[in-house]
Chain A
């Protein structure tokens, strides 16, 4: 332990002991983006007002909650004996009970009690026993959740933060040794490409330049993935420590953390962490009084998905449009300001301190042959309990579905959409047998991506899901490659037409040509943008053909507008009046005492079926129904005249024409 670290640690330990064994009981509010969305701010005000008005000897504080997002707002109460209890779904009506708890006047579990976080109490189980956490073996990346105030550097240090850094600096561990430990650990880049981190650092280490840059990629643009946000909001110093260790293993002196603007709280907490690290001599010149110099700064993104691609990220940092460019040169040769650069994901950097502290074999205790360690997953969709989990690689997907409460609303599991818009879409029949292992996804031409798992129920039509994602990749294309911006535009048009009831038998071939053309794009955005579409055509062929050829859509909450009709099945249901009132376009009318829905005006928003589910039914009977020009998802084109007369072509008749997959020829383009 270096002298400077020793004194930091001594101060931090003293502080932390006081905090974890407070004189007065303390109520800590879990404060993160999710709890803010759940209304924690109001709750904090209310609690503080009660404590003040009644002159109670109870303190309040902030904490990164234990991560049970579905149970937000979460609060923790720490008593002077050092025990900490976690409560969830807290509302204002729970305040008096919780105050009693804090005062030790109530010792029976409340229905909002989730479990014991620290210490023991006879009547309470430990939080690890909670059904939601049954797949988590050990919290490593999340080790500080619930145990520190993320805005307090002393809490991090007291829990052995910056110990790994101090150790390598003190013992003079060489860059090569650090890289070897990381390589031996099997840590593979968490941004989604899984390139071995230690090896990547080797490229930068060998570059012979005065200024070398480290970039932490916190752009996390994949909708449905928010694992990086969790780390930034709960344990920002692990990322900083990981970056400084990386700096010493690569001889880098300048670092950037590029955070998307959608994460204002993460930006605030990271900035606080950086400022505190500077103040303690952990960043800047002579890190912990060693010879290492490292400066670190945040760049706030501005809403462009492809800035997450590393060359786009670099362009965005250096004052330009964040457009990905052709590689090589790779960032290790020419990155930020054309100097050698290494880009890593937040989770990759956050994994470094624990590997250095505990060794590579410890890290490999979890995982599978092909990839080691634990990984954060963000889980959402048609499930009961959306949230994050830290799971060992190799966890079974069907087990994950079980602990998140299964598919909600008594519908069934249709598909898994993992890893964001470039990654894939697998039917339940495959997903149920998969483990969280990148190779297993690859076998089905899908990717596992950066940690998002979206469970899809059979209420959703795959064509609509495709339409959403193809609009996303079209919108987010940087426009450099004609294949990417034009191809994705084309793909979107085809899905819009199918949605409107204008599907054609040749669409399958057209989509295939588009997919092959997209392969010639410069970056992975264009290359991978047809992944979900290809999965759909291959693995959901029946459904695809039903929407395209048979004009029957199986979706309910999310269905092809041109393939559905609303029917009034009970004229005497009083709720029809509500439906009439709510309809935003006046498509429901009451004429001569009878309700009627005009499908030419109806935008298929679903408000009426929501209010009068027993009186209005949605049907899809193989007919194409006219849609008004005002449906944003189908905007601009009017395909009405293009719908073939004989739309009932059987699926068999089309498969013979679809043999283009795999051919590298672009000649089919002219057919589009």
Chain B
């Protein structure tokens, strides 16, 4: 990930994009992929580049679950909210992990730097119940395994 969050590097990323060309989502994805999140300045630059008001850019970006507006934590635990996982006590897995960290879904913690966020089924239901740790599937879970994983992360293991 690039930490050099300055106007030139953003403009370079957005170089091929043009106004009225269905490029907004692409712009937002490019910035998030490179910098981890969408900063206020980045949104302003996107607006400038695509001839959209900052309010429009911000309003659109906040509509989508994918985008973050502050730097991401080190570990993102995606919790699958889909039906196959639900049937296999996905809810118990979620609640137990949240309890280990004493947090809520989507709330970012600093120490350890972690967040449990809601994720959507992507059709690997044969692995249910599952979570993703930084996008890698951890499948065929049980609640006790999930608690152990969460405790390990909490203790920095």
Interface residues of A (CB under 8 A from B): 33-34, 36-38, 69-70, 72, 221, 223-226, 229-230, 256, 261-263, 297, 299-304, 316-323, 336-337, 378, 380-382, 385-387, 417, 454, 456-457, 459-460, 464-465, 468, 472, 475, 478, 557-558, 582, 584-585, 603-607, 610-611, 630-633, 635
Contact = CB atoms under 8 A, between A and B. Distances in A.
A633 B139 contact: no
B96 A300 contact: no
Main SS class of interface, B: helix
Most B CB contacts (10 A, CB to CB) among A230, A582, A611 go to: A582
A633 B91 contact: yes
B143 A631 contact: no
B83 to A, nearest CB: 5
A324 to B, nearest CB: 12
B121 A224 contact: yes
Nearest to A258: B25
Given A37-B137, A382-B87, A322 B63 contact: yes
Contacts of A300: 25-26, 29
B92 interface: yes
B46 to A, nearest CB: 10
A605 B98 CA distance: 11
Interface string B49-61: 0101000100110
B96 to A, nearest CB: 4
Contact of B128 (A225, A317, A380, A604): A380
5 contacts: A226-B121, A380-B83, A468-B91, A606-B92, A633-B91
Contact of B122 (A262, A299, A472): A262
Given A224-B82, A224-B125, A582-B147, A454 B87 contact: yes
Given A302-B28, A582-B144, A261 B92 contact: no
Nearest to B151: A584
A443 B121 CA distance: 28
B120 interface: yes
B101 to A, nearest CB: 9
The 6 closest A-B pairs by CB, nearest first: A226-B123, A303-B65, A302-B64, A380-B125, A223-B82, A319-B24
Given A36-B137, A229-B123, 4 more contacts: A224-B83, A319-B22, A557-B92, A584-B147
Nearest to B138: A37
Interface in B75-108: 81-84, 86-89, 91-100, 104-105
B99 A558 contact: no
B69 to A, nearest CB: 13
B128 A386 contact: yes
Contacts of A380: 83-84, 125-126, 128
B90 to A, nearest CB: 8
Nearest to B30: A300
A297 B26 CA distance: 11
B23 interface: yes
A303 B147 CA distance: 27
A556 B86 CA distance: 12
B20 interface: yes
Contacts of A36: 137
Interface residues of B, number: 58
Given A386-B126, A468-B86, A304 B22 contact: no
B150 to A, nearest CB: 8
B144 A607 contact: yes
Contact of B126 (A34, A302, A460): A34
B76 to A, nearest CB: 13
A302 B93 CA distance: 25
B67 interface: yes
Contact of B96 (A382, A386, A475, A605): A605
A478 B104 CA distance: 22
Contacts of B137: 36-37
Contact of A261 (B66, B104, B144): B66
A218 to B, nearest CB: 13
Contacts of B124: 33-34, 37, 69
A558 B86 contact: yes
B50 A605 contact: no
Nearest to B130: A37
B142 interface: yes
Contacts of B56: 319-320
A229 B137 CA distance: 17
A617 to B, nearest CB: 16
B146 to A, nearest CB: 8
A632 B98 contact: yes
Given A336-B22, A386-B125, A632-B94, A320 B105 contact: no
Most B CB contacts (10 A, CB to CB) among A297, A322, A380, A456 go to: A380
Contact of B100 (A33, A584, A610, A633): A584
A457 B86 CA distance: 12
Given A256-B22, A557-B89, A607 B147 contact: yes
A382 B87 CA distance: 7
A584 B23 CA distance: 45
A417 B82 CA distance: 12
B95 A632 contact: yes
Contacts of A582: 144, 147-148
Contact of A299 (B22, B88, B89, B150): B22
A406 to B, nearest CB: 15
Contacts of A38: 126-127, 139
B65 A223 contact: no
A472 B96 contact: no
Given A262-B122, A302-B28, A557-B89, A321 B63 contact: yes
Contact of B92 (A378, A457, A605): A605
Contact of A302 (B67, B100, B104): B67
A633 B95 CA distance: 8
Given A468-B81, A610-B142, A321 B95 contact: no
A334 B9 CA distance: 37
Contacts of A34: 123-124, 126-127
